[in-house]
Chain A
Amino acid sequence: MTRFFTGLMRLRRGPWEMLATIIIAIGVFMLMQPFVIWAFTYSFVVTLTGTVMFIIVSHFPE
């Protein structure tokens, strides 16, 4: 866990890609969940944020 946060602080690709992946997964879950409509409403913004973030952080150093 400490390594993960250190990686985030030092702008390393691995942890940032992991974070972007989690955000995308949350966005996709929000899009398809049957519980609350507000989550569906904000799902696109969350997925878009994760996807753009993934594109940017995949250029970070290892």
Chain B
Amino acid sequence: MSDKTLDRVASATPPPVARKIRGLSDRAIAWIFVAPTIFLLLAINIFPLIWTIRLSFTNYKANRIGREVKEIGFRNYERILTDSDIWLNMQATAHFLIWTIFFQVLIGFALAWLINKKFKGNDLWTTIIVLPMMLSPAVVGNFWKFLYQPQIGLFNYIIAFFTGKEPSSFQMLGEVNLAPWSIVIVDTWMWTPFVMLICLAGLRSIPDYIYEAAEIDRASKLRQFFTITIPMVLPFLMLAVLFRGIENFKMFDLVVQLTGGGPGSTTELTSINLKREAFEKWRTGYASAYAIILFVTVFGLASIYVKALNKVKER
């Protein structure tokens, strides 16, 4: 832009506006830009959190507006933490959490290790493997429901082919001992690619010269795997474990689509139970205390996650 144009723009700017903008410090301008985000954060995150903490000490019920709200201290927390049904829900969540993480890490790492080898069609296979992760949990839940159908479901037919059982003789979603495994299978199918991608990033970050030095020292492939590959990918694996752990602790949509928490309450994870307390039984104060307990747990896990993330960054 020529000086002439600049002069014309400057002269066209109304003097009071120009003076006001010129009068603001860098700090004030920064605040102007950040303020809308801070306001949204306070309104959408912080205020509901504080309000939930307040409600957790009351007997408030959201479906009874005119009812007197009593302060009941820590009674909601006491009830939740001594309730054996909630303890069982926590165990169902733990079963889901442990097995999904175990299978996802095992299969995810194996896939990453294979994909990391150079072969024809490498990129195509990566894209195909990553596909399940890109689908909506509601869609995944629905089509796995069809796959698990005892009469027409493909899953039952595959199991029948290998075991010789009748396909309609077992119901993956309807039997107490099979339903917890059915949700583990679906979550593993959906989220293993995510773990694979993290492991792949870890594997690709290992410099080739380390393997070359090991080759010169005549280290076997197995020894290279256990003394170079595993230790160097470990921080990435930890990251994947924590990330999946936090996500699966909050798991709701996929399981609701598949089993709705049933049969009985065998697949009723904590988040499903929380939703029932809050929006079916309308025990808002109680559900708030329940939510705070889950929040503190997730927050604690997230703190560890951030620490692990910083360690990975330091590398």
Contact = CB atoms under 8 A, between A and B. Distances in A.
Interface of A: 17, 20-21, 24-25, 27-28, 31-34, 37, 40-44, 47-48, 50-51, 54-55, 58
Given A17-B307, A51-B299, 10 more contacts: A20-B303, A21-B304, A24-B300, A24-B301, A28-B301, A44-B81, A44-B296, A47-B300, A51-B303, A54-B300
Contact of A54 (B77, B81, B97, B303): B303
Interface of B: 77, 81-82, 84, 87, 90-91, 93-94, 97, 293, 296-297, 299-301, 303-304, 307
B94 A37 contact: no
Contacts, number: 52
Contacts of A20: 303
From DSSP, what is the main secondary structure of chain A's interface residues? helix
Contact of A47 (B91, B97, B296): B296
B293 A32 contact: no
A41 B79 CA distance: 10
Contacts of B90: 31-32, 40
Given A32-B97, A47-B297, A40 B87 contact: yes
A51 B299 CA distance: 7
A27 B300 contact: yes
Nearest to B301: A28
Nearest to A32: B94
Nearest to B295: A51
A41 B78 CA distance: 8
29 contacts: A20-B303, A21-B304, A21-B307, A24-B300, A25-B304, A27-B297, A27-B300, A28-B297, A28-B300, A31-B297, A32-B91, A32-B97, A34-B91, A34-B94, A37-B82, A40-B87, A41-B81, A41-B82, A42-B81, A43-B81, A44-B77, A44-B293, A47-B300, A48-B296, A50-B300, A51-B296, A51-B300, A51-B303, A55-B303
Most chain B CB within 10 A, of A31, A41, A48, is at: A31
Nearest to B289: A44
Contacts of B303: 20-21, 24, 51, 54-55, 58
B273 to A, nearest CB: 14
